[in-house]
Amino acid sequence: MIEATKNKSSAVLIALCGALLFSSKAVLIKFAYQYDVDKLSLLVLRMGFALPFYLFFAFKSNANPKATPIKKKDWILLVYLGIIGYYFASFLDLWGLEFISAGMERLILFIYPTITTILIAITFKRKISRNTWIAILLTYVGISIAFWEKISLNDNTDFWFGALLIFGSALTFSFYLVGSEKLIPKFGSKKFTSYCMIVSCIGVLVHFGIQNSIDITSFRWEVYSTALAIAFFSTVLPSFMMSMAIKQIGASTTAIISSVGPIWVLVLAYFVLGEEFYLLQISGTAIVILGILLISKEKG
């Protein structure tokens, strides 16, 4: 019992660190924009730099001898998850940001914990506990309070189109989390993450390589160093951490813990970019942390 509690606490910490690293990319991207790089080129550089890491781990990771035999349909599902999880979800997110504010984008995007929890309950026939619902409610209330001053429904006439695109991004990422809970026990967390992300990297490079006519070698060195930091610290490391957490505590709990992401962006932007941090944001942060603490105490 003590060992199980210890393992769950470690998994919660891993999920939390993964969420913090992954969400940090927003600040790094904003830092890179001062060097006149467009977002499509930066995405290509990010995934291009990340690809060698995933290739390395794919070849170095050993198969789990106790794992269930991998079937053809498992490989098909893995490719599907790789395409929708980080490629298509990122594409919809970038597209949606052209029409709505970043604050509203984060609010809509972070409905994915609820979507994931509901999909998990339907797919695996699991009952959603009272504490889980309360934790979801607390994290959403906290995020809403923190971003209250940033919300504007009148940014432009295409708001609802942008909102629909961001919702699509949240939905596709939820599918990725649900599918990963099914495949990680078969492939192992390292191999699953590596294979999925290789598919995502190739998809991004092919798509944006065709669409983007800008010379990818024409930027200042600061752009490449920042893209490398985004690739390793905000893509490679958190992707493995999230898979490890899903293996231990499930996709639903991992998704809820990830709700700390947009709050962390506010804090990091305050210290790195000098953006203002208000009392409402401090209050929202406290509520989100309360929700995460509640879900971390859930028996599982």
**pLDDT tens digits, residue range 34-44?**
888 887 788 88
Segment (H or E) for 38: none
The Cα 228–Cα 224 span in angstroms is: 6
The Cα 185–Cα 286 span in angstroms is: 34
Give the angle subtended at the CA of 100 by the CAs of 114 and 209, to the nearest 5°. 90
- The answer to whether 25 and 230 have CB atoms below 8 angstroms apart is yes
Single out the residue of 101, 253, 85 nearest to residue 179, CA to CA.
85
pLDDT tens, position by position, 110-139:
778 888 888 888 888 888 888 888 888 887
User: What pLDDT is stored for residue 240 in this prediction?
Assistant: 93
User: What pLDDT is stored for residue 51 in this prediction?
Assistant: 94
The Cα 116–Cα 254 span in angstroms is: 10
Token duo for residue 76: 């098909």
The Cα 172–Cα 92 span in angstroms is: 9
- The answer to whether 22 and 242 have CB atoms below 8 angstroms apart is yes
Per-residue pLDDT of the chain (300 residues; tens, 9 = 90+): 445 556 778 888 999 999 889 888 877 877 888 888 887 788 889 999 999 999 999 988 766 656 677 889 999 999 999 998 888 888 888 788 777 766 667 677 777 888 888 888 888 888 888 888 888 888 788 878 877 766 655 555 677 788 889 889 989 999 998 999 889 888 888 899 999 999 999 988 888 778 767 788 889 999 999 999 999 999 999 999 999 998 888 888 888 888 787 778 777 877 777 767 677 777 877 887 787 777 666 655
- The answer to whether 8 and 249 have CB atoms below 8 angstroms apart is yes
Residue 147 — φ and ψ, nearest 5°?
-105, 15
The Cα 255–Cα 292 span in angstroms is: 10
**Does pTM top 0.75 for this prediction?**
yes
Token duo for residue 113: 């914990």
pLDDT tens, position by position, 252-286:
888 888 878 777 877 787 777 776 767 777 787 78
Q: Under DSSP, is residue 295 helix (H, G, I), strand (E, B) or coil?
A: helix
| The residue to which tokens 């995405």 are assigned | 43
| Cβ-based burial of 254 (10 A; exposed 0-12, middle 13-18, buried ≥19) | buried
The Cα 53–Cα 295 span in angstroms is: 32
- The answer to whether 235 and 196 have CB atoms below 8 angstroms apart is no
The Cα 20–Cα 250 span in angstroms is: 18
Give the angle subtended at the CA of 216 by the CAs of 214 and 220, to the nearest 5°. 110
| The residue to which tokens 């210890």 are assigned | 6
Q: Quick one: CA dihedral 176, 177, 181, 182, positive or negative?
A: negative
> In the chain, where are the structural domains located?
2-296
Distances (CA, A) of 66 to 69, 181, 211, 240, 287: 9, 17, 44, 20, 41
